[in-house]
C-alpha cells in the first residue's frame, strides 16, 4: 500500500534490546512450572542473562517489588507479587539449577 502524501517516512527499527531465553525453558521446563515459578525464573533470567551475567544476587524484596534506585528511579517492577511468593517455587527453582 503506498504512503499517503506527506506521511513521515519509516525510519527503521531501533536496535532491539532483549533478554535471551534458552530453548530448554520452552522445550523442557515450561510444562512443569507453575505461573509463579515461571515469573520468578523469567525475572532471574532478565536480571542475569539480560545483563550478560552468569549469576547475580537477587533479593526476595526485588522479586516481590522490583528494583528502585537510591534516587527513587524505578528500574523494574519485578514479577509483581503482592506478597512474598510461596517457598516451594523458590526452593524448586533453586534445586533445579
Q: List pLDDT tens digits, range 54-76.
A: 999 999 889 988 999 999 999 99
Kindly tell me if the per-residue pLDDT of 85 is higher than 70.
no
- pLDDT attached to residue 10: 81
Domain limits for position 76 = 23-95
Give domain status of residue 63, yes or no: yes
Q: List pLDDT tens digits, range 20-39.
A: 899 999 999 999 999 999 99
Give domain status of residue 74, yes or no: yes
pLDDT class of 44 with cuts at 50, 70, 90: very high
DSSP string, 31-93: GG--HHHHHHHHHHHHHHGGGT-S-----HHHHHH-EE-TTS-EEE-TT--SSPPPHHHHHHH
pTM value? 0.69
Total of domains in the chain: 1
Amino acid at each position: 500500500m503506498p504512503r499517503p502524501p506527506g506521511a513521515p517516512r519509516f525510519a527503521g527499527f531501533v536496535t532491539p534490546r532483549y533478554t535471551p531465553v534458552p530453548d530448554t525453558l520452552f522445550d523442557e521446563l515450561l510444562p512443569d512450572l507453575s505461573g509463579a515459578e515461571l515469573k520468578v525464573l523469567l525475572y532471574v533470567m532478565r536480571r542475569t542473562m539480560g545483563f550478560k551475567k552468569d549469576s547475580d544476587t537477587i533479593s526476595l524484596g526485588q522479586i516481590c517489588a522490583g528494583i528502585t534506585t537510591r534516587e527513587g528511579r524505578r528500574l523494574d517492577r519485578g514479577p509483581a507479587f503482592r506478597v512474598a511468593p510461596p517457598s516451594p517455587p523458590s526452593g524448586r527453582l533453586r534445586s533445579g539449577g
